[in-house]
Amino acid sequence: MKDYIEERALEIAKYIISSKTTVRDAAKIFGVSKSTVHKDVTERLPRINPNVALQVKEVMDQNKAERHIRGGRATKIKYQTVGM
């Protein structure tokens, strides 16, 4: 694997862990697609650093468990601003 890809995967992982952010937000920050972020942290990272991969997985699992709440908030805000 190319060095810059490994470095990117580690940087994205550290960012997700430290900020507890979503894959979507990490993709925006790093200027790559959501698919790339997901592939980096779920496929590449376990080969590079399994311990960091587990930490990222915990954050991603938490985000997945909370996504229905975020979606509901976004919809509520959308319709509150449309009605004004």
Report pLDDT for 78: 76
Q: Count H helices, E strands: the chain? A: 5, 0
Report pLDDT for 84: 53
Low-confidence ranges of the chain (pLDDT < 50): none
Report pLDDT for 79: 81
Report pLDDT for 2: 85
**Torsional sign, CA 26, 14, 54, 9:** positive
Report pLDDT for 1: 64
Q: What is the pTM of this model?
A: 0.79
CB-CB contact of 23 with 67 (8 Å): no
* Residue 45 DSSP label: H
Cα separation of the two ends of the chain? 52
What CA–CA distances, in Å, run from 9 to 41, 66, 79, 82? 6, 24, 37, 39
